[in-house]
Amino acid sequence: MRHSSTKVPLTTAGKAASSTAPRTWTSYEDARSSSAGVGLGFVLNGDGIVCIDLDHAIAPDGSLKPWAEDIVTAAGATYTEVSASGEGLHVFGYADVRQGRRIRREGGYAVEVYGTGRFIAMTNRPFRGAPSVLADTSSLVRRLTA
């Protein structure tokens, strides 16, 4: 998919798209070659790829907040990118997540874990030289959702 400047999912023709309507999705190659909107997006469709969304994880000085550092370290060598806000991270990996969750943690922060029915506005800004491969993040997801 593509997305607007406000992270609304778009088709390659620039029309409204949906994370739950496969007819509005396309291949990576077609999305990349489209000029609709301002960037690429990814649909989590239940195929085992998950996104751990860490909002407000990056401190003003560019360092990771301790709670986020713990999660990134536990995720291991997997694709992680800086979110569109520049203050968060998207940690991608493999796990079985049938229902997304927003998990409020001690300390006032929240972590979101999604595996299906969600759209992620991609930035292609790898965090700390993250690899372009996905790791098994099952144990981390279990820990976060316990």
Give the residue numbers annotated as catalytic, written as ranges.
53, 55, 90, 112
DSSP letter (8 states) at residue 63: P
Q: How far is CA 91 from the centre of its chain?
A: 6
Residues in CB range of 145: below 8 A, 6 or more apart:
101, 103, 113
What is the C-alpha separation between 90 and 122, in angstroms, rounded? 9
Mutual angle of helices 66-75 and 138-145, in 10-degree steps = 140
The residue type at 101: R
Nearest to 98 by CA among 140, 135, 141, 55: 141
